[in-house]
């Protein structure tokens, strides 16, 4: 039996997180966040880059939020709610614990709808599993984000249905609280403070040497703690779920991708020792295969089995199909528009264009797609981000004011006048990010969501 931690997976997305700009004020009282566009958080990389808006506060109609805002403070009534739209749905959310300067563990509790048994897992910024929820006597589940020993400060939470055949209707609810600082951490903080003083007093070579030694020590501890956690999780499994084979996680994932039967013990082993980047790649390929099977069955039902044609996903859920006659074209376009988000997510996960994008390019392209959808609705299809620019009034070294030019008249004053508590503030911030990127790089990264249907599979 091979117990392995895949730190450098084949399919790797680094977590280069940009904290959301909107409405992160301490309102006091309960912070109630709710899942916004369910399809947007199906993609692991979207949780990492915040490419699209995921959650909204119940007091506002828009908002890009990070679940990190639910950590800390004395209010224990704050919460996040979400739901699953289908049996294949899975939700990813980013949590940044950088503010946990005291390195106190963060505890997440999950309530589930009646009859549901959801998985709750947390991964570090390298995709290593560092926490799996355990079931409590009252039917809730709890996991701990290990801020006290993990080298990461940026984590991804995964809420899943663990291969359930049916989707249970109802909301799940996440609440956050802080654990207790261990005596070991208290002593380590004292040593760190002393070490900081020495670093400031020493010369550059001494500081570099001490810094490197501290990093090596932390890395060694992180590895040991992760391996110990995984071993404890494995030991806690019922005997029948303890995988005793010789295949590595990578080999088991390839087996699953080939469509070969995977036992419950093998699944449990993958969940503990697998890297989320590799697991996600398999999940995406399986979703693609399922979508292709459903699409192929539909085409056969309307007499288009084996037909080849091209597909372009347009902003706002529209579709353009080429290579069929007008009646056939309309039938296929109607079907794809009904399943637009599924096709989009296949493209984001499978296309060379997206996988080759840097995290910054991917995030900006997500902003472009979201803003173009908004601008198209506000202008009747007449305005896109390509039509926008920024007018700046400058005095010496100072920018006195900035105004976005070219916006639809219906929302121009609403966006330019939006402050951090306004529902249009997110669009204002995203548009500025897009235009700043164009100014710096000369062009804007965008998704070009094109497929070819070969008669049996989607090629992008």
pLDDT digits (tens, 9 = 90+) for 121-174: 999 988 999 999 999 999 999 999 998 888 888 899 999 987 666 888 899 999
**Do 170 and 191 fall into the same domain?**
no
Q: What is the pLDDT of residue 34?
A: 82
User: Are 152 and 54 contained in the same domain?
Assistant: yes
**Residue 210 confidence (pLDDT):** 67
Whether 325 is in a domain gets the answer: no
Radius of gyration of the chain (CA): 24
Q: Does one domain contain both 224 and 103? A: no
pLDDT by residue (tens digit) across 321-355?
A: 999 999 999 999 999 999 998 999 899 988 999 98
Specify if 295 maps to a domain.
Answer: no
pLDDT for 238: 95
- Answer yes or no: are the C-beta atoms of 133 and 110 closer than 8 Å: yes
Residues 61 and 151 in one domain: yes
| pLDDT at position 207 | 65
% of the chain surpassing 70 pLDDT:
80
> What pLDDT is recorded for position 9?
62
380 domain-assigned:
yes
297 within domain boundaries: no
| pLDDT > 50? residue 20 | no
Dist CA 49 CA 125 (whole Å): 12
Rounding to the nearest 10 degrees, give the CA dihedral for residues 226, 231, 237, 241. 100
Residues 201 and 230 in one domain: yes
Distance CA 182, CA 188 (A): 10
To the nearest whole number, what is the mean pLDDT of the chain?
84
Please say which residue of 143, 165, 182 terminates a domain. Answer: 182
* Pair (174, 214) in one structural domain: no
How crowded is the C-beta side of 95, counted as CA atoms within 13 Å?
Answer: 29
pTM (2 d.p.): 0.82
Q: Given 235, 250, 276, which residue is the final one in a domain?
A: 235
Q: Is 267 domain-assigned?
A: no
- Strand ranges for 41-170 from DSSP E: 55-57, 79-83, 91-96, 106-111, 119-123, 129-132, 134-135, 141-145, 154-160
State the pLDDT confidence band at 434, using cuts at 50, 70 and 90: very high
- 3-class secondary structure, 5: coil
Please state the domain count of the chain: 3
Contacts of 169 (CB under 8 A, 6+ apart): 83, 113
Residue 194 in domain: yes
Mean pLDDT of 277-290: 90
Residue 271 has pLDDT above 60, yes or no: yes
Q: Poorest-confidence range of 33-37, 207-211, 243-247, 268-272?
A: 207-211
How far apart, in Å, are the Cα atoms of 186 and each of 87, 104, 200? 45, 10, 21
Domain end call among 159, 182, 205: 182
Phi, psi of 283 (to 5 degrees): -55, -45
Are residue 105 and residue 171 in the same domain, yes or no?
Answer: yes
Under the banding of pLDDT at 50, 70 and 90, the label for residue 101 is low
Q: Are residues 76 and 147 in the same domain?
A: yes
323 within some domain = no
**Residues 304, 324: contact at Cβ < 8 Å?**
yes
84: domain CATH number?
A: 2.60.120.380
Residue 408 pLDDT level (bands cut at 50, 70, 90): very high
Residue 223 and residue 124 share a domain: no
Domain assignment present for residue 283? The answer is no
400 and 394 Cβ atoms separated by less than 8 Å: yes
Q: Could you tell me if 173 and 157 lie in one domain?
A: yes
> Are 194 and 139 found together in one domain?
no
- 190 and 50 in one domain? no
DSSP state of 68: G
What does the pLDDT read at residue 442? Answer: 94
For 339-412, list the strands marked E by DSSP. 389-395, 398-405
Q: What is the mean pLDDT of residues 62-76?
A: 69
Residue closest to 59 by CA, chosen among 85, 93, 34, 76 = 34
Structural domain harbouring 141: 32-182
What SS3 state is found at 123?
Answer: strand
């Amino acid at each position: 039996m091979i117990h392995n931690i895949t730190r450098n997976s084949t399919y790797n997305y680094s977590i280069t997180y940009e904290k959301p700009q909107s409405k992160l004020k301490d309102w006091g009282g309960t912070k109630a966040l709710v899942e916004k566009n369910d399809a947007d958080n199906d993609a692991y990389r979207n949780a990492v880059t915040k490419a699209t808006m995921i959650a909204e506060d119940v007091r506002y109609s828009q908002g890009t939020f990070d679940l990190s805002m639910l950590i800390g403070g004395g209010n224990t009534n704050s919460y996040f709610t979400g739901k699953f739209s289908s049996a294949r749905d899975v939700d990813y959310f980013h949590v940044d614990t950088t503010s946990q300067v005291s390195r106190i563990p963060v505890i997440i509790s999950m309530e589930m709808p009646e009859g549901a048994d959801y998985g709750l897992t947390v991964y570090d910024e390298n995709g290593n599993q560092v926490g799996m929820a355990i079931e409590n006597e009252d039917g809730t589940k709890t996991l701990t984000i290990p801020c006290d020993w993990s080298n990461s400060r940026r984590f991804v939470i995964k809420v899943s249905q663990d291969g359930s055949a049916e989707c249970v209707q109802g909301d799940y609810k996440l609440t956050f609280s802080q654990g207790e600082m261990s005596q070991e951490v208290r002593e380590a903080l004292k040593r760190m403070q002393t070490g900081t003083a020495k670093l400031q007093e020493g010369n550059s070579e001494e500081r570099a040497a001490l810094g490197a030694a501290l990093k090596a020590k932390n890395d060694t501890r992180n590895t040991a703690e992760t391996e110990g956690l995984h071993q404890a999780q494995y030991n806690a499994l019922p005997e029948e779920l303890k995988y005793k084979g010789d295949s590595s996680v990578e080999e088991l994932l390839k087996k699953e991708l080939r469509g070969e039967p995977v036992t419950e013990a093998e699944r449990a082993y993958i969940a503990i020792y697998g890297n989320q980047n590799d697991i996600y790649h398999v999940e995406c390929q399986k979703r693609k295969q399922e979508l292709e099977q459903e699409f192929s069955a539909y085409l056969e039902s309307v007499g288009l089995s084996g037909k080849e044609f091209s597909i372009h996903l347009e902003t706002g859920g529209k579709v353009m199909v080429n290579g069929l006659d007008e009646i056939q074209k309309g039938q296929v376009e109607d079907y794809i528009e009904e399943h637009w988000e599924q096709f989009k997510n296949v493209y984001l996960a499978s296309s060379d264009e997206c996988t080759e994008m840097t995290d910054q390019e991917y995030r900006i392209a997500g902003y472009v797609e979201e803003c173009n959808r908004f601008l198209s609705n506000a202008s009747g299809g007449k305005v896109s981000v390509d039509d926008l620019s920024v007018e700046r009034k400058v005095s010496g070294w100072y920018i006195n004011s900035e105004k976005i030019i070219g916006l639809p008249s219906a929302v121009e004053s609403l966006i330019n006048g939006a402050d951090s508590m306004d529902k249009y503030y997110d669009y204002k911030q995203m548009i500025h990010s897009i235009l700043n990127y164009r100014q710096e790089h000369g062009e804007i990264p965008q998704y070009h969501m094109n497929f070819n249907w070969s008669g049996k599979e989607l090629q992008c």
